[in-house]
């Protein structure tokens, strides 16, 4: 289930990037702002959901000493 969710969120994240780039490919800049907001929002939300729900490493960093 976790792998399937990760795959779906990854596809949706890249779909958000394609929505963001759509006005540049088609040359329709009048609707560009709406596509940019929609695509960027979708990418950010799906990326964060993917991180929090499937990766598990998006929490605060542990306070350990530096390793150098």
pTM (predicted TM-score): 0.69
Burial string for 20-30 (b: 16+ CB within 10 Å, else e) reads: bebbeeeeeee
Q: Tell me which H or E stretch contains 23.
A: helix 2-26
Q: What's the DSSP call for residue 35?
A: H
Q: Which residue has the higher pLDDT, 62 or 6?
A: 6
Model confidence at 37: pLDDT above 70: yes
Model confidence at 56: pLDDT above 90: no
The least confident of 22-26, 35-39, 41-45, 59-63 is 59-63
Model confidence at 66: pLDDT above 80: no
């Amino acid at each position: 289930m976790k792998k399937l969710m990760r795959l779906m969120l990854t596809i949706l994240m890249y779909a958000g990037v394609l929505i963001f780039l759509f006005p540049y490919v088609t040359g329709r800049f009048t609707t560009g702002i709406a596509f940019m907001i929609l695509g960027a929002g979708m990418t950010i939300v799906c990326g964060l959901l993917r991180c929090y729900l499937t990766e598990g490493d998006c929490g605060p960093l542990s306070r350990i000493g530096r390793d150098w």
